[in-house]
């Protein structure tokens, strides 16, 4: 009797192990879906144009496939390239194909959003303008800013033509002189005030600020004694 119970328990254990293995194999091989966000990259932008608007920065796709296939897809640097060569100033639409990326074996794209990329192009402009240091605060009591030197004194700014034409000068990021009683030098960036304008030669500018004691005014009595 004891031997029969032991055999029954053994069969039950083996059955449970086999069932677990079969469940694991079936679960591991069944298809699943996962979303991916693909950054939009524009290729072939004409030299005389600037992209100023687009309806989406990413294309969201849902990929269906085995866990192994999706795991391989996660390890890749995905992006959606849009060829805009031949574009003209104004707005244009570009279709997003059903499968914007090459998927590994055992996976496929089942949906994407948006299905079209809307882009606005504007004429490119360029202009050389003076650089002005933006000073914030006041030096220590009894001191003043005597001179400000910016290097380079001028920069060439490029970007969307209508935004470039609005600029009369390139202003630096604020340089705080609060409480200072001597010369100071800072490296700061430029604040061009537009999203679609940039400096042709990127980099910080150097601002040299001379701070000196305010001159002492002589009183009438001192003048007479002199």
Q: 106-139 pLDDT, tens per residue?
A: 788 888 899 899 999 999 999 999 999 999 999 9
Angle at the Cα of 114 from the Cα atoms of 196 and 48, rounded to 5 degrees: 30
Q: How many CB atoms lie within 10 A of CB 75?
A: 8
Element (H, E) at 9: helix 2-29
pLDDT tops 70 at residue 220 = no
Q: What percent of the chain has pLDDT over 90?
A: 54
Sequence ranges of the domains in the chain: 30-123, 133-213
Instruction: Give the list of residues 6+ apart from residue 40 with CB closer than 8 angstroms, or none.
Output: 54, 56, 57, 58, 59, 79, 80, 82, 117
Class of the CATH domain delimited by 133-213:
mainly beta
pLDDT at position 47 is 95
CA distances from 1 to 5, 14, 15 (A): 6, 20, 21
* pLDDT, tens only, 149-204: 999 999 999 999 999 999 999 999 999 999 999 999 999 999 998 789 999 988 89
Under the banding of pLDDT at 50, 70 and 90, the label for residue 68 is confident
pLDDT at position 10 is 55
Instruction: Give the list of residues 6+ apart from residue 223 with CB closer than 8 angstroms, or none.
Output: none
Class of the CATH domain delimited by 30-123:
mainly beta
pLDDT at position 13 is 52
Tokens 């290729």 identify what position?
Answer: 43
């Amino acid at each position: 009797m004891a031997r029969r119970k032991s055999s029954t328990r053994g069969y039950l254990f083996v059955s449970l192990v086999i069932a677990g293995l079969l469940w694991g194999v079936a679960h591991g091989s069944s298809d699943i879906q996962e979303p991916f966000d693909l950054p939009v990259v524009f290729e072939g932008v004409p030299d005389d144009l600037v992209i100023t608007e687009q309806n989406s920065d990413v294309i969201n796709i849902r990929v269906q496939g085995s866990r192994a296939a999706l795991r391989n897809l996660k390890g890749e640097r995905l992006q959606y390239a849009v060829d805009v060569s031949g574009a003209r100033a104004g707005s244009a639409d570009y279709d997003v194909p059903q499968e914007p990326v090459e998927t590994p074996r055992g996976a496929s794209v089942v949906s994407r959003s948006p299905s079209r990329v809307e882009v606005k192009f504007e004429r490119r402009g360029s202009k050389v303008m003076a650089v002005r240091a933006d000073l914030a605060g006041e030096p220590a009591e009894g001191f003043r800013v005597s001179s400000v030197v910016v290097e380079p004194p001028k920069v060439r700014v490029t970007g969307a033509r209508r935004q470039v034409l609005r600029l009369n000068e390139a202003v630096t990021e604020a340089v705080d002189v609060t409480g200072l009683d001597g010369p100071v030098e800072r490296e700061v960036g430029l604040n061009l005030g537009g999203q679609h304008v940039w400096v042709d030669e990127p980099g910080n500018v150097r601002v040299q600020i001379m701070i000196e004691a305010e001159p002492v005014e002589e009183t009438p009595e001192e003048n007479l004694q002199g």
